[in-house]
């Protein structure tokens, strides 16, 4: 048995493809299961075509305590024994591999399509669908509960608000939800396939819009990955500016979420205030780079726009104002019993379930799990300016709201510190060509949680395979678990407390 601990990389480090341990599928399976049972997480698990017309399975295992990423590989053809029965957090990854590459994980208890697209391999399909058969999203066998007074509620894809599409199927007994099954894929644009063969003139724009509310998070992950493959180092000034952009993105979204949570329990003052404060943070991003979503700010080799002295002064002043406004708005929540009554003990995810599912980000930290890429896998500016991990331990809507509030305060402090001590220097350097036959992993703590990009280069140095794992991919099942035993009327509140990305999942 290989010692899987022999080969590891740090976040933002590339490794020769040849140095990745090649295991038999049995060894691969056991290694992943053992690693996860000893506390590591699956950051990414995917298949990519290997040179010998076969497929290679790759697993990226995150060791939060050591800050290391372990990479394993194994060759498969059209089937292999599923990991999921012994390692639940592999479940969605294995469904994805089956859908993309027509490789059947045998013994998978829940093998259904993830995004409802044709397989990448001509004339092969994990469900034996014909190549000319039209694939209709959410047409599949849903988990069903039968019995007297049990009924089914179907919601979506088109929802009641201005929100992305997805389908939710509830099995209910009266008002109580016995099970929620979430079926997505409506947003599938085929980004990962389009990224293969790059980088080209569209690559950065695919990444910017992979999940448009996380433009900074995804573009930072992409640029870190490119820089690790090209061997470029970006200037301290650019690192600082990237960090500020990432925290501004977090601030805007966390402020918006606090307001939306207030709205979902009918508490209009905070809802109204935060809706506006969110925009104030977006406008701060626009102050720096012209775009409220940070388009054009994060580019390979550095950043697109510098921080002028004047800009820095305005930003510091606006931050102080918004922090004051947000403090008032958020404290109303914590001081209003009718709000707390709805937040507390609603949509609880047990810590053990959170760990088993490999949840990440705000939702995991709300279960008391200490996981935050900025702290556990620091890259860029976070190696020098550490941000403490904000956790809560009740795992309910309250915890997910409160963790956001804690993070808001730390993000503001971070930006203030950076503005006061912004290093001098260039903001961008030309990047060198990418090294051939490498694999690189890049992780960023986006506002939802861990964003993991993995890129493989071919013999010519172009990206031959690109894998994006948005935090939503890990966490959608967490939302389904949070709904068990809840009233169906609490679904909007629970959903908002996770606020996951549909397009980030569907890519």
Partner 1 sequence: MIKVLLARLQQGHRTICFPKADPGLPERFRGRPILNPVKCTADCKECIDRCPTDALKKDADGLALDLGRCLFCGQCAGDCSGGAIEFSRDYRLAARSRTDLIVRGREMRLAEALNRETKSVLGRSLKLRQVCAGGCNACEADTNVLSTVVYDLGRFGVQFVASPRHADGLLITGPVTRNMKLALEKTYDAVPDPKIVIAVGACAISGGPYIDLPAVHNGADAVVPVDLYVPGCPPHPLTILDGLLRLLGKVK
Q: Which of residues 3-62 bind partner 1 (CB under 8 A)?
A: none
Q: Write out the two tokens for 386.
A: 């550490």
Closer by beta carbon to partner 1, 378 or else 504: 504
Q: Choose, by CB under 8 A, the member of 8, 30, 73, 272 that binds partner 1.
A: 272
What's the DSSP call for residue 137?
A: T
Any alpha helices (H) in 265-308, and if so which ranges?
268-289
Among 8, 30, 283, 435, binds partner 1 (CB under 8 A): 283
Specify the residue for token string 């397009």.
503
Examine residue 100 and tell whether it contacts partner 1 (CB under 8 A).
Answer: no
Nearer to partner 1 among residue 176 and residue 291 (C-beta): 291
Binding mask 229-268 for partner 1 (x = CB under 8 A): ----------------------------------------
- Cα(180)–Cα(390) distance, rounded to whole angstroms? 29
**Interacting span for partner 1 (CB under 8 A) from 98-106, 111-119, 144-152, 170-178:** 111-119
Of 289, 397, 440, 483, the one binding partner 1 (CB under 8 A) is 289
Instruction: Report the C-alpha gap between 83 and 88 in whole angstroms.
Output: 8
Q: Which two tokens stand for residue 149?
A: 């007074």
Single residue of 21, 49, 296, 492 touching partner 1 by CB under 8 A: 296
Q: Output 192-196 pairs: Cβ under 8 A, ≥24 positions apart.
A: 192/466, 192/467, 192/468, 192/507, 193/120, 195/463, 195/466, 196/463, 196/464, 196/465, 196/466
Contact predicate 152/172, CB 8 Å: yes
- Structural contact between residues 453 and 226, judged by C-beta atoms closer than 8 angstroms: no
Count Cα atoms within 13 angstroms, Cβ side, for 270: 27
Determine, following the binding rule CB under 8 A, whether residue 109 of this chain makes contact with partner 1: no
DSSP code of residue 80: E
Cis check: omega of the bond before 372, within 30 degrees of 0: no
Residue span 345-384 as binding mask against partner 1, x where in contact by CB under 8 A, dash where not: ----------------------------------------
**Residue 345 in 3-state DSSP?**
coil
Q: Is 155 near partner 1 (CB under 8 A)?
A: no
**What is the Cα–Cα distance from 464 to 390, expressed in whole angstroms?**
37
Q: Which residue has the tokens 């980000």?
A: 361
Nearer to partner 1, 82 or 497 (CB): 497
Nearer Cβ to partner 1 (15/332): 332
Nearer to partner 1 among residue 273 and residue 405 (C-beta): 273
Element (H, E) at 75: strand 68-76
491 binds partner 1 (CB under 8 A): no
Question: Is the CB of 71 or the CB of 299 nearer to partner 1?
Answer: 299
Contact status: 309 vs partner 1 (CB under 8 A): no
Stretch that binds partner 1, among 80-88, 275-283, 349-357, 481-489 (CB under 8 A): 275-283
148 CB-near residues (< 8 Å, 6+ apart) = none
- To partner 1, the closest distance from the beta carbon of 101 in angstroms equals 17
Which residues contact residue 2 at a Cβ distance below 8 angstroms, ignoring those fewer than 6 apart?
A: 21, 23, 27, 31
Report how far residue 382's alpha carbon sits from residue 176's, in angstroms, rounded to the nearest whole number.
44
Closest separation in Å from C-beta 304 to partner 1:
9
Burial status of residue 174 (CB atoms within 10 A of its CB: 0-12, 13-18, 19 or more): exposed
- Looking at residues 121 to 140 of the shown chain, list those that interact with partner 1 (rule: CB under 8 A): 136-137
Q: Which helix (H) or strand (E) holds 410?
A: helix 397-420
Please list every residue from 320 through 339 that binds partner 1, using CB under 8 A. Answer: 325, 328-329, 332, 335
Per rule CB under 8 A, is residue 458 in the interface with partner 1? no
Give the x/- contact pattern for partner 1 in 182-221, rule: CB under 8 A.
---xxxxxx---x------xx-xxx-xxxxxx-x------
Contact with partner 1 (CB under 8 A) among 13, 25, 49, 117: 117
Residues that bind partner 1 (CB under 8 A): 115-117, 136-137, 157-158, 160-165, 185-190, 194, 201-202, 204-206, 208-213, 215, 269, 272-273, 275-276, 278-279, 283, 286-293, 295-296, 305, 325, 328-329, 332, 335, 501-503
């Amino acid at each position: 048995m290989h010692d899987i601990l022999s080969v590891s990389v740090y976040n933002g480090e590339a490794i020769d493809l040849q140095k990745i341990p090649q295991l038999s599928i049995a060894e691969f399976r056991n290694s992943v299961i053992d690693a996860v049972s000893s506390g590591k997480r699956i950051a990414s698990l995917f298949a990519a075509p290997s040179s010998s017309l076969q497929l290679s399975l790759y697993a990226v295992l995150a060791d939060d305590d050591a800050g290391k990423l372990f990479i394993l590989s194994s060759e498969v053809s059209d089937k292999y024994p599923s990991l999921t029965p012994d390692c639940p957090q592999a479940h969605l990854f294995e469904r994805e591999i089956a859908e993309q590459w027509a490789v059947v994980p045998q013994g998978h208890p829940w093998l259904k399509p993830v995004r409802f697209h044709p397989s990448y391999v001509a004339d092969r399909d994990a469900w034996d669908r014909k190549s000319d058969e039209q694939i209709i999203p959410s047409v599949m066998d849903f988990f069903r509960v039968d019995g007297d007074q049990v009924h089914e509620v179907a919601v979506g894809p088109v929802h009641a608000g201005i929100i992305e599409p997805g389908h939710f199927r509830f099995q209910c007994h009266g008002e109580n939800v016995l099970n929620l099954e979430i079926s997505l894929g409506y947003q599938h644009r085929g980004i990962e396939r389009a990224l293969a063969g790059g980088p080209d003139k569209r690559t950065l724009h695919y990444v910017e819009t992979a999940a448009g509310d996380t433009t900074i998070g995804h573009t930072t992950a992409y640029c870190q990955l490119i820089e690790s493959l090209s061997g470029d180092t970006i200037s301290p000034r650019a690192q600082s500016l990237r960090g500020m952009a990432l925290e501004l993105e977090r601030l805007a979204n966390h402020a918006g979420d606090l307001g939306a949570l207030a709205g979902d329990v009918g508490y209009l003052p905070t809802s109204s205030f935060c809706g506006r404060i969110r925009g104030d943070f977006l406008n701060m991003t626009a102050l720096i780079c012209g775009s409220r979503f940070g388009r054009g700010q994060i580019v390979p080799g550095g950043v697109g726009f510098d921080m002028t002295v004047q800009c820095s002064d305005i930003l510091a002043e606006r931050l102080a104002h918004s922090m004051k406004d947000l403090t008032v708005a958020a404290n109303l929540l914590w001081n209003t019993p009718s709000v707390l009554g709805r937040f507390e003990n609603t949509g609880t995810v047990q810590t053990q379930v959170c760990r088993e599912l490999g949840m990440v980000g705000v939702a995991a930290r709300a279960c008391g799990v200490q996981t935050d890429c900025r702290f556990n896998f620091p890259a860029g500016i976070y190696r020098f300016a550490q941000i403490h991990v904000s956790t809560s331990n009740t795992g309910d809507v309250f915890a997910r709201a409160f963790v956001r509030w804690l993070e808001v305060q730390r993000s503001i402090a971070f930006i203030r510190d950076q503005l006061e001590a912004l290093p001098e220097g260039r903001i961008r350097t030309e990047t060198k060509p990418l090294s051939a036959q490498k694999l690189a992993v890049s992780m960023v703590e986006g506002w939802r949680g861990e964003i993991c990009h993995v890129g493989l280069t071919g013999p010519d140095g172009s990206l031959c395979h690109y894998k994006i794992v948005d935090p939503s991919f890990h966490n959608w099942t967490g939302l389904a678990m949070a709904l068990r035993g809840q009233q169906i009327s609490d679904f909007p509140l629970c959903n908002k407390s996770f606020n996951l990305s549909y397009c980030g999942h569907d890519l």
